[in-house]
Structure 1
Amino acid sequence: MPMMVMILSMALLAVFYSLAPAHAQAARPATFADLVDQVGDSVVNITTSSVVPGRTGPQPMVPEGSPLEDFFNDFMDRDNQGERAPRRSQALGSGFVISEDGYIVTNNHVIEGADEIQIEFRTGLELPAEVIGTDPNTDIAVLKVGPEEPLQFVPFGDSDVMRVGDWVMAMGNPLGQGFSVSVGIVSARERALSGSYDDFIQTDAAINRGNSGGPLFNLDGEVIGVNTAILSPNGGSIGIGFAMSSTVVTRVVNQLQEFGETRRGWLGVRIQDVTDDIAEGLGLEDPHGALVTDVPEGPAMDAGVEVGDVILSFDGIEVEDTRELVRNVGNAPVGETVRMLVFRDGATQTLRVTLGRRETAEGTETLTPGQTPELPSSGEVMGMTLVPLTDELREELNAENVQGGLVIEAVDPASDAAIKGLIPGDVITEVGQQPVSAVDDFETRVSEAEDAGQKSILLLIRRDGNPRFVALGLGND
Structure 2
Amino acid sequence: MRPKATTTLLTLSLAAAFGGFAATAIRDGLETPAQAAPVAAAAAPAVAALPAAVGTTPLPSLAPMLARVTPAVVSVHTKQRVSVSPFGDDPMFRRMFPELTQERINESLGSGVIIDAQRGYVITNHHVIEGADAVSITLSDGRTLPAEFLGSDADTDIALMRIPAQNLSALPLGDSDALRVGDFVVAVGNPFGIGQTVTSGIVSAVGRTGLRGLGFQNFIQTDASINPGNSGGALVNLNGELVGINTASFNPRGSAAGNIGLGFAIPTSLARNVVNQLAHNGVVVRGALGLESQDVTAPLAKALGLDEARGALVTQVFKGSAAAGAGLRVGDVVVAANGERIDGRDSLRNFEGLQPVGSRVALDVRRDGKPLQLSTTLREQPRSFAGVELDPRLDGAVFAELPERLRQSGYSGVLVESVARGSRASRNGLQKDDVVIAASSGNFEDLPGFRASFTQAPAQLVLRVMRGANRRGDLTMQ
| TM-score, normalization by structure 1 | 0.62
Q: 2:265 aligns with which of 243, 255, 259?
A: 243
221-230 or 321-330, which deviates more: 321-330
Structure 1 pair 135/345, CA: closer, same or farther in 2 (3 Å)? same
Q: State the alpha-carbon separation in 2 of the partners of residues 102 and 177 from structure 1.
A: 25
| Count of matched residue pairs | 333
Superposed CA deviations along residues 86-141 of structure 1, whole A, max 9, x for unmatched, are: 02111100001000121000011111111111100011111100111101111110
Work out whether residues 267 and 298 of structure 1, in 8 Å CA contact, stay in contact via their aligned partners in 2. no
Structure 1 pair 400/135, CA: closer, same or farther in 2 (3 Å)? closer
Structure 1 pair 56/342, CA: closer, same or farther in 2 (3 Å)? same
Q: 1:306 aligns with which of 329, 336, 358?
A: 329
- CA drift at 1:357: 1.9
Counterpart in the other structure of 2:421: none
Which blocks of at least 5 consecutive residues in structure 1 are unaligned? Answer: 1-9, 18-27, 59-75, 368-396, 403-463, 465-477
- CA drift at 1:32: 1.5
Structure 1 pair 399/308, CA: closer, same or farther in 2 (3 Å)? farther
- CA drift at 1:40: 1.0
State the identity as a percent. Answer: 41
> For 1:335-350, what aligned pairs fall within 5 Å after superposition?
335=358, 338-350=361-373
Superposed CA deviations along residues 303-355 of structure 1, whole A, max 9, x for unmatched, are: 442221012443x4344324553344334342456453422123344445442
Q: State the alpha-carbon separation in 1 of the partners of residues 326 and 367 from structure 2.
A: 14
Superposed CA deviations along residues 32-52 of structure 1, whole A, max 9, x for unmatched, are: 111210111100001111101
Work out whether residues 176 and 269 of structure 2, in 8 Å CA contact, stay in contact via their aligned partners in 1. yes
Q: State the alpha-carbon separation in 2 of the partners of residues 284 and 13 from structure 1.
A: 58
> For 1:126-137, what aligned pairs fall within 5 Å after superposition?
126-137=144-155
Q: State the alpha-carbon separation in 2 of the partners of residues 240 and 229 from structure 1.
A: 9
Structure 1 pair 118/34, CA: closer, same or farther in 2 (3 Å)? same
Counterpart in the other structure of 1:55: 85
Counterpart in the other structure of 2:280: 258
Counterpart in the other structure of 1:140: 158
Q: How large is the RMSD of aligned CA atoms in angstroms?
A: 3.3
Superposed CA deviations along residues 200-222 of structure 1, whole A, max 9, x for unmatched, are: 22222222111110011110111
| TM-score, normalization by structure 2 | 0.62
Structure 1 pair 401/214, CA: closer, same or farther in 2 (3 Å)? closer
Counterpart in the other structure of 1:3: none
153-162 or 335-344, which deviates more: 335-344
Structure 1 pair 241/337, CA: closer, same or farther in 2 (3 Å)? closer
Work out whether residues 72 and 114 of structure 2, in 8 Å CA contact, stay in contact via their aligned partners in 1. yes
Counterpart in the other structure of 1:460: none
Counterpart in the other structure of 1:234: 254
> For 1:283-362, what aligned pairs fall within 5 Å after superposition?
283-299=305-321, 300-314=323-337, 316-322=338-344, 323-335=346-358, 338-360=361-383
Which blocks of at least 5 consecutive residues in structure 2 are unaligned? Answer: 9-57, 89-96, 385-399, 403-411, 415-437, 444-463, 465-478
Please say if 1:105 is aligned against 2:123. Answer: yes
Structure 1 pair 398/302, CA: closer, same or farther in 2 (3 Å)? farther
Superposed CA deviations along residues 55-90 of structure 1, whole A, max 9, x for unmatched, are: 2329xxxxxxxxxxxxxxxxx99x84xxx4202111
Please say if 1:182 is aligned against 2:199. Answer: yes
Structure 1 pair 121/349, CA: closer, same or farther in 2 (3 Å)? same
Q: 1:32 aligns with which of 40, 52, 62?
A: 62
Work out whether residues 171 and 214 of structure 1, in 8 Å CA contact, stay in contact via their aligned partners in 2. yes
- CA drift at 1:180: 1.2
Q: State the alpha-carbon separation in 1 of the partners of residues 301 and 225 from structure 2.
A: 42
Specify the code of the residue in structure 1 equivalent to 2:127.
H
Q: State the alpha-carbon separation in 2 of the partners of residues 312 and 341 from structure 1.
A: 6
Counterpart in the other structure of 2:170: 153
Structure 1 pair 336/190, CA: closer, same or farther in 2 (3 Å)? closer
Counterpart in the other structure of 1:473: none
Specify the code of the residue in structure 1 equivalent to 2:255.
G
Q: State the alpha-carbon separation in 2 of the partners of residues 165 and 104 from structure 1.
A: 29
Counterpart in the other structure of 2:221: 202
Counterpart in the other structure of 1:71: none
Structure 1 pair 179/137, CA: closer, same or farther in 2 (3 Å)? same
Q: State the alpha-carbon separation in 2 of the partners of residues 29 and 185 from structure 1.
A: 20
Superposed CA deviations along residues 372-406 of structure 1, whole A, max 9, x for unmatched, are: xxxxxxxxxxxxxxxxxxxxxxxxx967659xxxx
Q: State the alpha-carbon separation in 2 of the partners of residues 264 and 134 from structure 1.
A: 14
Larger radius of gyration: 1
Please say if 1:167 is aligned against 2:184. Answer: yes
Q: State the alpha-carbon separation in 1 of the partners of residues 113 and 439 from structure 2.
A: 48
